[in-house]
Structure 1
Amino acid sequence: MTAPSRHVTRRTEQLGRQEALRLLKSAEIGRLIFSHQALPAVRPVNHALLDDLIIIRAHTGAALLGPARDGAVVAYEADAFDLERRTGWSVVVTGEAHLVKDPELLRRYQAAVEPWVDSEMTHVVSIGLDMVTGFRIGMENEE
């Protein structure tokens, strides 16, 4: 891996809500941040963005199910970076997590998110888009 040119100026740009959600929708995987046994927990998960919600699936016994039953506030972060060019973006969503119980929504959301692992991912958790923030690191000019 080569070091980036020293003649390149990089800048950080705050993203608007719509651009942040567009980037989040393009990400294949993110990290779910929640409280588990009074400690921070982070889990990599794949997701879908539907009905102004982040939708993820979980298996029976997953640590996330407790906070989702309680409507706890969680965070979800996704990003993409080009390590060689030192550019990229990051989006963080903060919102309430809830177990999806409506049978019609459950079937629809299960069809939209295919689990990466071969376990019984029968539960669906929705996360509200209460707070959406993000930034992009880009290059201004090259010489």
Structure 2
Amino acid sequence: MHTYDDAGLEILDGPECLRLLSSVPVGRLVFTQGGLPVVRLVAFCVDGDTIVFASDDCEWLRAAHRGDVVAFEVDDIDLERRHGWTVTAIGHLSAVPEGEAAELAGTAPSWLRLRDRQLIRLGTESVSGRRAH
């Protein structure tokens, strides 16, 4: 049984959002820097219900150590056929501990350069999505 919002878009449930989230290699990290919103493209992988990405950016590392709340968005849109989907996850950042980071780096997709970089995790406390048919 599908549910739809007022605009006629299908409302996706949590498991479907996580499945779609893990189907693309790049997403948009939305965070605050200097009191202003910032959006950055990041390569990532999904580990259970968390999002993991690597960074050597000092601002992101400080945000992870503070546990900042951020948003993360992925999508797949086919403009020609006029359908697609979008998923947004919201949660707190954290630094991935060294031992766990080594394990993740060994199992992550080859396109994601996790080795010798600090790993940051976004715990997905809220995930939502919509699909246009």
Report what 2:15 is aligned to: 18
Choose which of 31, 38, 48 in structure 1 pairs with 2:35.
38
- Is residue 95 of structure 2 the alignment partner of residue 77 of structure 1? no
Give the direction of change, closer, same or farther, for the CA distance of 1:121–1:29 in structure 2 (3 Å limit): farther
Give the direction of change, closer, same or farther, for the CA distance of 1:113–1:67 in structure 2 (3 Å limit): farther
C-alpha distance after superposition, 1:48-107 (max 9, x if no partner): 111321001101x34322211100101100000001011000000000000112x22111
Which structure exhibits the higher relative contact order, with contacts defined as CA atoms closer than 8 Å and separated by 6 or more residues? 1
Q: Note the C-alpha offset of 1:113.
A: 5.2
CA distance in 1, matches of 2:109, 2:62: 21
Alpha-carbon RMSD across the aligned residues, in angstroms, is 2.1
Q: Is the 8 A contact 2:44 2:112 kept in 1?
A: no
C-alpha distance after superposition, 1:6-27 (max 9, x if no partner): xxxx941010000111000101
TM-score (structure 1 length as normaliser): 0.80
User: Alignment identity in percent?
Assistant: 34
How many equivalent pairs are there? 126
Give the direction of change, closer, same or farther, for the CA distance of 1:38–1:17 in structure 2 (3 Å limit): same
Moved over 3 A (4+): 113-117
TM-score (structure 2 length as normaliser): 0.85
Q: Is the 8 A contact 1:12 1:135 kept in 2?
A: yes
Partner of 2:87: helix, strand, or coil?
Answer: strand
Unmatched runs of 5 consecutive residues or more in structure 1: 1-9, 139-143
CA distance in 2, matches of 1:63, 1:56: 14
Unmatched runs of 5 consecutive residues or more in structure 2: 1-6
Report what 2:3 is aligned to: none
